[in-house]
Homo-oligomer: A and B are copies of this chain.
């Protein structure tokens, strides 16, 4: 492997090939801590040409590559396995916004641009790049594209794949595919862009992208709403759609357990509603500077649903600081649960009409497997997507970890039976590759393997991720 390391150093410069344990430490363990691998080296190219040279050298040496963005993934898709034979290819140095076309509404960026920096670049052009995630301060757009990231703006703007027009990709043999076309309409063959989006680094390395920009929405109307049940939340969603139409941009749910953890662990957090409730919804409308009916539409929505018994109480933000405080309750859940102790994460989608039935039916099943287990339920209910995360009974983390396979299987079986998805937005990574395949038909797994083999015949791109 000395030869390969020499080639890599020649390609990107000595200082950007990391091999000492201290230097590589941050690149080989994922955010959850579950996946801690080893790497032959971490390589940090500074341009598409350098990425191509790195991939070509690895291809020549038959060494596997693990592409990595901000390393904020939750399923181990961006960290190496334990073999110590894989090269981590970090896109973190490729942080240039290449161009902005405000007329057409496009922005062309390097894969390593941090999502929050992309927001700023869009804003400076008077436009909006809507994708919003808890990790937006450190995740990169290349990672968002590779995993087809979701977040809190999917309800209105769609998943990452709906926000991209073209890609630049280094293929497994080191050739560069320049698909950086910023066209809404281009019907000239198979949609290769969509094939790479969500492929989790298993088909090539995304190095650049053309993304869609949208009209800015500086006006907001935001409320934290106490609802008696998931059914009531779904009813509120229907009314909000009718009353607020296209302005409805956020519709997030959280159970009381989730709020309790935030109130316990997030400094400065306070409950905006006096009386405790089993469920809460964060609802937000967003509009252009010229649109001034948002507050009225929100109030009408809440008025309709209070009368129907679907809403118990609501806190409406009347200042930007109040809006931030309501958002902090939602965005603090993941971190608060991590502080609380061991967490068993699930990221499932269900048909919206089945959400209430599913959540009420799964709880007793899980309580049978591990009495006292605490479902910390939250997520993007407008998309049917729940982060159905389990915390251990207080002080009994080891029992949660022991029961994890049984708990997850019970959840996934019931989701599959309801025609849901076992990974709504986090992807499959290493954690769920086997489970993902087990809930698919043989025909579908065959199709996925055929695609993988066609684009990566030597199996060197992120092996073990997405497909078992």
Contact = CB atoms under 8 A, between A and B. Distances in A.
Interface of A: 101, 103-104, 147-148, 150, 154, 158-159, 161-162, 171, 175-179, 181-192, 194-195, 197-199, 203, 215, 234, 238, 241-243, 245-247, 287-288, 290-291, 293, 349, 351-353, 380, 383-385, 419-428, 432, 436, 439-441, 443-444, 447-448, 450-455, 466-467
A353 B101 contact: yes
B185 A154 contact: yes
Given A349-B186, A383-B185, A161 B245 contact: no
Contacts of A182: 351, 419
A384 B185 contact: yes
Nearest to A288: B245
Contacts of A161: 191, 194
Given A454-B453, A454-B454, A245 B287 contact: yes
A444 B177 contact: yes
Q: How many copies does the complex hold?
A: 2
Contacts of A187: 147-148, 150, 159, 198, 421, 423-428
Given A179-B444, A183-B419, A454-B454, 15 more contacts: A103-B234, A103-B352, A104-B351, A150-B185, A159-B187, A182-B351, A184-B385, A185-B380, A187-B198, A188-B432, A189-B198, A192-B444, A192-B451, A215-B245, A447-B455
A192 B441 CA distance: 13
5 contacts: A158-B184, A177-B444, A178-B443, A183-B349, A192-B451
Given A290-B245, A353-B101, A181 B447 contact: no
Nearest to A156: B246
A189 B353 contact: no
Given A154-B184, A176-B443, A353 B104 contact: yes
Contacts of A195: 190-191, 194-195, 451
A194 B183 CA distance: 17
Contacts of A189: 198, 428, 436, 440, 444, 448, 466-467
A238 B447 CA distance: 43
Contact of A188 (B150, B290, B422, B450): B422
A222 to B, nearest CB: 18
Nearest to A457: B450
Contact of A447 (B177, B353, B380, B424): B177
A349 B443 contact: no
Contacts of A197: 191
Given A181-B419, A195-B194, A455-B447, A215 B188 contact: no
Given A195-B194, A245-B288, A444-B192, A421 B186 contact: yes
